[in-house]
Amino acid sequence: MKEFTYKICDELGIHARPAGLLVKKAGEFSSETIMYNGEKSADMKRIFALMSLGVKQGDTIRVTVSGADEDEACAELESFLKNNL
C-alpha cells in the first residue's frame, strides 16, 4: 500500500469539475484508491462519495492506494492533485 498527503490549495476545494476529473484519473488504475478527510473516507472512483467528503481550501487530505499498479497510480494521482487542486 502507498500513501501520501496533500493540502488543498484551490479556493473552491474539491468541487464538481475537478472531482469529475479526479474520478476519471483514478478509474485509469486497477488499484483501490481511497481519500480521507479527517475521519471520513471515500472511494476515489465514485464522484458522489468524493463530493461527500466536503474538502475545502486548506484541508489536508490523505490518499491511500493499494493494488497491482499502486506505484504508478500513487504518482499519477499525487501529480494530478498538485496540478489541479
Domain residue ranges in the chain: 2-84
pLDDT of 56: 93
**CA separation for the pair 76, 83 (Å, rounded):** 11
**All 3 cell numbers of residue 55?**
474538502
Is residue 59 pLDDT above 90, yes or no?
yes
Q: What is the pTM of this model?
A: 0.89
E strand or H helix that includes residue 26:
helix 16-26
Report the half-sphere exposure of 8 (CA within 13 A, side-chain side). Answer: 22
Q: pLDDT per residue over 2-39, tens digit each?
A: 999 999 998 888 888 889 999 999 999 999 999 999 99
What residue type is assigned to position 59 of the chain?
Answer: D
Q: Which of 4, 6, 15, 78 is catalytic?
A: 15
Q: Is 79 a catalytic residue?
A: no
43 pLDDT tier (thresholds 50, 70, 90): very high
pLDDT of 13: 87
Average pLDDT for the chain: 92
Which superfamily does 2-84 belong to?
HPr-like (3.30.1340.10)
